[in-house]
Copies of this chain bind each other. A is one copy, B any other.
């Protein structure tokens, strides 16, 4: 054994107060930080800590690099936004291990959970995840687009609240609009839709609409989109503030 290690850490949605002490301690033990540039830059660490910055979409080479460093005895923290297990780096690291040299299977590898973007967005809005829900990445980089549409249809049919990660990017400008169109075929129209942008960061913004009226232009790559179900409701407030959004826990019958 080399004595090195890999810890995969979620940094939370962006507000430093939403990073757990466990995650902070794991990062404090690291000799090396590995990750996509914006996440590595977010970490406060001493000058002796080596920062290995990589571009987006290079998850497997980044994971392999972290594993090589650990094999050489380094203590590596691979950092993701939100929770590292939800469309973050955790899966990429185990994929690299599965397909890499056997010696990687003897490494000390741990995942530290974090507050995911969907949980932070839900808390900011009220309680939209009050019932059963699903989490879908709208990116078709790693799965075929017809499968994304099929999953959306089945999720709406099941009556899940649907959280959409990666709704829109410059390279994928049309998917979210197509997803809304597809959902309208199955849904009633009045189900609330929330656009939660950069929650926990200084530029956070929220926009509420319905599935009938939701416009994909309101999302960007920092937005999490929550599509409500029949049990999702707005609670108006006395003072003209933005309403609370919540999903009732009780479902009377199949819809």
**A→B interface (CB under 8 Å):** 8, 12, 15-22, 25, 59, 83-87, 90-95, 97-98, 102-103, 105-106, 109, 111-116, 119-120, 122-124, 126-137, 142-144, 146-147, 150-151, 154-155, 157-160, 233, 235-239, 244, 246-254
Distance to closest chain B CB from A19 (angstroms): 7
A244 and B136 CA atoms in complex are apart in Å by 23
Interface of A is mostly: mixed
Closest Cβ neighbor of A114 among chain B residues = B115
For the A-B complex with A18-B20, A150-B158 known, give 17 more contacts whose Cβ atoms are closer than 8 Å: A12-B20, A17-B25, A21-B21, A84-B127, A85-B127, A85-B128, A86-B129, A90-B126, A94-B235, A94-B246, A97-B244, A98-B233, A106-B239, A113-B115, A114-B115, A116-B119, A154-B154
CB pair B254 A146 closer than 8 Å: yes
Q: Can you report 16 residue pairs joining A to B where beta carbons are below 8 Å apart? A: A17-B21, A17-B22, A17-B25, A85-B128, A90-B123, A91-B129, A93-B127, A94-B246, A95-B246, A98-B246, A113-B115, A113-B122, A116-B116, A116-B119, A142-B250, A142-B251
Distance to closest chain B CB from A224 (angstroms): 12
Distance to closest chain B CB from A5 (angstroms): 14
Counting every copy of the chain, the complex holds: 2
A109 and B8 CA atoms in complex are apart in Å by 34
CB pair B86 A144 closer than 8 Å: no
CB pair A136 B132 closer than 8 Å: yes
Distance to closest chain B CB from A21 (angstroms): 5
Contact A236 B151, CB 8 Å, known A20-B12, A25-B17: no
Closest Cβ neighbor of A83 among chain B residues = B119
A254 and B115 CA atoms in complex are apart in Å by 30
